[in-house]
Amino acid sequence: MYRLEEETPDDWWEVEALYDLCFAPGRTALSSYRLRDGVPPVAPLCLTLRDDTGTLAAAIRYWPVQVAGRPVLLLGPVAVHPTRQGEGLGGLLIHESLAEARRLGWERVMLVGDAPYYSRFGFRKLTGVTMPPPTNPDRVLGFELRPGAWAGVTGVVEKAA
């Protein structure tokens, strides 16, 4: 049994430690981190999963960005503790957070990630949307929380205003 909760300020460093464990060194040098620098995350969408003992099993965060002046959610990072991988926890976090984002009125989501993994959640390669370098354009993926939300939205991904 897991408890799904909104991340609190007290969770911050524990979540960061999970990300350090799950991702390669230097993760904070990636372009997506430059878009997050100095920008608060979208708190209602930053979620944790803890087991019955209170141990952090998985976490997800979202950040506001913009493309062509339009608001976009930047999903990531999402991580599952290596001892809990294969239990569907990452998928649970993605599904629950996307449903909450839709409920909160967000229209579009993007991420930089592995298309074969994220396509099962409905993410597709974004054409005409450019992440700051160095980012492989094939890994820039989008999801519509409202049908047609990405139509005509092109340009460089920028920090939220």
Q: Distance between CA 113 and CA 81 in Å, rounded?
A: 18
Residue 78 pairs in a beta bridge with 60
pLDDT at 28 over 80: no
DSSP for 64-126 reads EEEETTEEEEEEEEEEE-GGGTTSSHHHHHHHHHHHHHHHTT--EEEEES-HHHHGGGT-EEP
pLDDT at 6 over 90: yes
Q: Which residues of 55-64 are buried (b: 16+ CB within 10 A; e: fewer)?
A: ebbbbbbbbb
Q: In this predicted structure, what is the pLDDT of residue 53?
A: 96
Q: For residue 50, what pLDDT band results from cuts at 50, 70 and 90?
A: very high
Q: What is the pLDDT of residues 107-139, one digit of tens each?
A: 999 999 999 999 999 999 999 999 998 899 999
What is the number of helices (H) and of strands (E) in the chain?
A: 4, 9
Q: Which domains does the chain have, with CATH numbers?
A: 3-159 (3.40.630.30)
Q: In this predicted structure, what is the pLDDT of residue 84?
A: 96
Q: What is the pLDDT of residues 61-106, one digit of tens each?
A: 999 999 999 999 999 999 999 999 999 999 999 999 999 999 999 9
- Non-local CB neighbours of 95 within 8 Å, separated by 6+ positions: 121
Q: For residue 47, what pLDDT band results from cuts at 50, 70 and 90?
A: very high
Question: Contact at 8 Å (CB) between 95 and 118?
Answer: no
> What's the mean pLDDT in 143-150?
98
Q: In this predicted structure, what is the pLDDT of residue 26?
A: 77
pTM over 0.85: yes
Q: Distance between CA 154 and CA 103 in Å, rounded?
A: 24
